């Protein structure tokens, strides 16, 4: 629309205005590589200085015709090379812009000066794909340029004062209050080879300002260099405006951030050469409750050519509900590789000790490895933090080499934990996108000689004396929920006291499904608080959200969960071989709440 308008404007302005009272031009069809115009009408009244231009148009390759119009209530030409459009309005498709425009051009021998001022009022626009849209946009733009024989020296001032704009992926809204707005001030030089910004400042309302200089090569549109510096940017307002849209598909897409930060960076020929990020008293918390760090103070330099030392300290935080104590972290970075010999992360009265840390950014992905030790952590505090049943004692572990590459985490060796006077070993641990939106985990677990007395007291299950072994093979979790495993828990081999209480019998039997009479309550067995057993066991194969259940033996009616021995003894049967995983979890919840129904023989 603009090119035809300029064409007819030149025709109009070349006429001797004093010789006529109005001018009207009609064109049936115009076509160029950019598109087509039909039924173009131009009317200009010399009495009122009003210009009206209208046409139907369509862009090249687009079969839809749209109506467009340009109107200037007063088009003034007070001096040679000076034009002014008052109360202007442009309408074309989804564009509706009210504007005022001033344009002055002066030529003096080898130099040419141009000054243009544009004011927008309640402008609206959108595209068919919905990726760009604006509503009630108001602002001012001023451009001055001086041309010599070889180049243009220019100066730009832009102020956006009101309205809202969505420009994928960013959404920015301004209320139009006095003193509120975003602005850009810049000056530079343009010639046949490049466009340079010698000095510029971008100011974002309630966020901060960035000073920068840059040079863009016109031939290939590559950035030859960029220098940028910010000072004490407000991280709380920067995150939703700029950072969150860029991090939408990452684990950092739903944060609360506070504090101050500043950034310096330098680019040459499209590549980063140096950068430095500083954080002052910053807080970062995941709204999904996965992690948080408080009162972060950091000095994070990086240089392409020179090794640098990173420093990061925080006063506290949490990771997956586990509180983190105060920590000071130091590391070395050499181009795209980071190393640290040891990092201590306090957790309650113990902590996590990371060793032999090495990370590298290769092929646009992180690759890293480390070793770790869990220093003895009080289980009572840990279980409260994780909303687990209260556990006693300490947990400690040696974690073998852990590697992460292309979104996958793997362990080279077994992790062993000492719990419930026995041991739990995690084997073949692997994770995909552990901090992503839908993390996946696979592992095998081996439990040996867990003390059933301690275990059942912890989970309010009813008293059982004995030892318990268990195996969970081919465990797979998606978004931390089980989707596949072969699990079995059973009596440990060996000789030791084996006793089970009435309540434990009722709770165990309820896991196999309701349907049998409560034999204890209708026989002499009700006079006994405890029973002897020979062995116990329960198995679950989870497939398609259904558990295929079995026990230590099979019967014609079902399977044996607890096999009695001696006097008094009791045998507990399960009857439902296929149980919904959701139903089984609900039964476990009822068991610990004391609402289970017995299935006893």
pLDDT tens per residue across span 370-428? 999 989 888 888 888 887 767 777 788 888 889 988 888 888 888 888 778 888 899 99
From the list 328, 322, 313, the residue with the least C-alpha distance to 348 is 322
Beta bridge partners of 372: 354, 399
Helices (H) and strands (E) in the chain, counts: 7, 40
What confidence score (pLDDT) does residue 487 get? 95
The H-or-E segment that residue 314 falls in is: strand 308-314
Report how far residue 243's alpha carbon sits from residue 387's, in angstroms, rounded to the nearest whole number: 33
Tell me what percent of the residues of the chain surpass a pLDDT of 70: 91
* DSSP per residue, 425-436: EEEEEEEESTTS
Q: Are 477 and 485 in contact (CB under 8 A)?
A: no
Q: Are 443 and 475 in contact (CB under 8 A)?
A: yes
What confidence score (pLDDT) does residue 439 get? 85
For the whole model, what pTM was predicted? 0.71
Strands 553-554 and 151-167: unpaired
> For 36-85, what is each residue's pLDDT tens digit?
899 999 999 988 999 999 999 888 777 788 899 999 999 998 888 899 99
**Residue 29 burial (CB < 10 Å; 0-12/13-18/19+)?**
exposed
Q: With b meaning 16 or more CB within 10 Å and e meaning fewer, what string describes 565-585?
A: eeeebbbbbbbbeebebeebe
Q: Are 553 and 563 in contact (CB under 8 A)?
A: yes
pLDDT < 50 regions, the chain: 1-8, 15-18, 513-524, 595-601
From the list 403, 465, 458, 401, the residue with the least C-alpha distance to 434 is 403
């Amino acid at each position: 629309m603009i090119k035809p308008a300029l064409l007819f404007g030149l025709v109009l302005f070349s006429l001797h205005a004093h010789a006529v009272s109005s001018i009207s031009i009609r064109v049936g069809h115009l076509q160029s590589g950019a598109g087509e115009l039909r039924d173009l009408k131009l009317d200009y009244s010399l009495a009122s200085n009003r210009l009206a231009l209208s046409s139907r148009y369509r862009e090249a390759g687009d079969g839809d015709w749209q109506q467009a119009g340009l109107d200037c209530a007063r088009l003034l030409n007070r001096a040679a090379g000076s034009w002014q459009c008052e109360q202007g309005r442009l309408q074309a498709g989804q564009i509706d812009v009210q504007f005022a425009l001033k344009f002055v051009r002066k030529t003096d021998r080898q130099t040419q000066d141009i000054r243009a001022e544009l004011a927008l009022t309640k402008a609206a626009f959108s595209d068919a794909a919905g990726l760009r849209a604006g509503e009630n946009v108001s602002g001012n733009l001023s451009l001055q340029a001086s041309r010599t024989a070889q180049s243009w020296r220019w100066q730009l001032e832009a102020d956006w004062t009101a309205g809202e704009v969505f420009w994928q992926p960013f959404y920015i809204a301004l209320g139009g209050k006095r003193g509120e707005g975003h602005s850009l001030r810049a000056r530079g030089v343009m010639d046949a080879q490049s466009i340079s910004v010698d000095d510029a400042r971008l100011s974002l309302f309630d966020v901060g300002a960035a000073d920068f200089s840059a040079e863009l090569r016109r031939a290939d549109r590559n950035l030859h260099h960029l220098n940028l510096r910010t000072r004490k940017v407000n991280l709380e307002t920067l995150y939703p405006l700029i950072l969150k849209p860029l991090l939408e598909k990452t684990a950092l897409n739903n944060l609360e951030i506070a504090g101050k930060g500043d950034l310096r960076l330098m680019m040459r020929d499209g590549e980063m050469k140096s950068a430095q990020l500083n954080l002052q008293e910053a807080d970062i918390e995941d709204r999904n409750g996965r992690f948080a760090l408080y009162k972060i103070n950091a000095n994070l330099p990086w240089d392409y050519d020179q090794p640098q030392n990173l420093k990061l300290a925080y006063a506290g935080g949490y990771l997956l509900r586990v509180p983190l104590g105060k920590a000071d972290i130091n590391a070395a970075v050499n181009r795209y590789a980071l190393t640290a010999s040891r990092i201590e992360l306090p957790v309650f009265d113990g902590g996590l000790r990371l060793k032999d840390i090495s990370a590298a950014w290769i092929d646009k992905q992180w690759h890293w490895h480390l070793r770790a030790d869990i220093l003895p952590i009080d289980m009572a505090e840990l279980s409260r933090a994780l909303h687990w049943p209260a556990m006693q004692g300490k947990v400690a572990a040696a974690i073998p080499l852990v590697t992460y590459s292309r979104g996958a985490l793997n362990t080279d060796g077994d992790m062993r934990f000492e719990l419930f006077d026995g041991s739990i070993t995690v084997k073949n641990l692997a994770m995909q996108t552990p901090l992503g939106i839908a993390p996946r985990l696979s592992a095998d677990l081996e439990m040996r000689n867990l003390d059933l007395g301690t275990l059942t007291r912890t989970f309010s299950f009813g008293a059982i004396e004995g030892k318990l072994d268990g195996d969970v093979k081919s465990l797979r979790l998606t978004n931390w929920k089980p989707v596949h495993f072969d699990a079995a828990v059973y009596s440990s081999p060996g000789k030791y006291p084996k006793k089970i209480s009435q309540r434990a019998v009722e709770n165990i039997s309820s896991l196999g499904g309701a349907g049998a009479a409560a034999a204890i309550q209708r026989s002499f067995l009700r006079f006994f608080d405890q029973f002897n057993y020979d062995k116990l066991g329960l198995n679950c194969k989870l497939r398609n959200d259904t558990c295929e259940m079995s026990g230590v033996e099979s019967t014609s009616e079902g399977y044996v969960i607890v096999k009695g021995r001696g006097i008094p003894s009791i045998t507990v049967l399960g009857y439902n071989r296929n149980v919904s995983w959701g139903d089984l979890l609900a039964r476990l919840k009822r068991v610990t709440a004391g609402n289970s129904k017995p299935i006893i023989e």
